[in-house]
Amino acid sequence: MASHAHSETPSMSGAAEASSLSKPSTQAVPTCAQCGASPEALKQCTKCHSISYCTKDCQKAHYKTHKKECASLAQAYVKVHEPKMASRAPPKVGDRSTGFKKWQFDT
């Protein structure tokens, strides 16, 4: 049988891991997955929410690469994040989408 001396992962020891957890983490600046640009208005992939793009063109260009991992990332996202429910509030008084429409009276 192999000895347990090598059972520790090579990436970090317990002490190093504890010290890294106490330091404030610096999050990477989000960038476009296709071109690497970091504009303020990046849009996330609507399915997996893990990848961001600066434009629709970049999203389309990167689709072949991203689609291979998108489904599994989407499943992981759903496990961690609670889905947003549609509003159950009644429609607003001035909302034009409520009430009868002209086509409902045409016979």
Residue-wise over 14-39: b if at least 16 C-beta within 10 A, else e? eeeeeeeeeeeeeeeeeebbbeeeee
Would you place residue 61 in the very low, low, confident or very high pLDDT band (cuts 50, 70, 90)? very high
Domain boundaries, the chain: 29-79
Distance CA 99, CA 35 (A): 47
- Please check the confidence at residue 25 and state whether its pLDDT lies above 50: no
Q: For residue 71, give every residue at least 6 positions away whose Cβ sits within 8 Å of its Cβ, in sequence order, or none.
A: 47, 48
Predicted TM-score of the model (pTM): 0.48
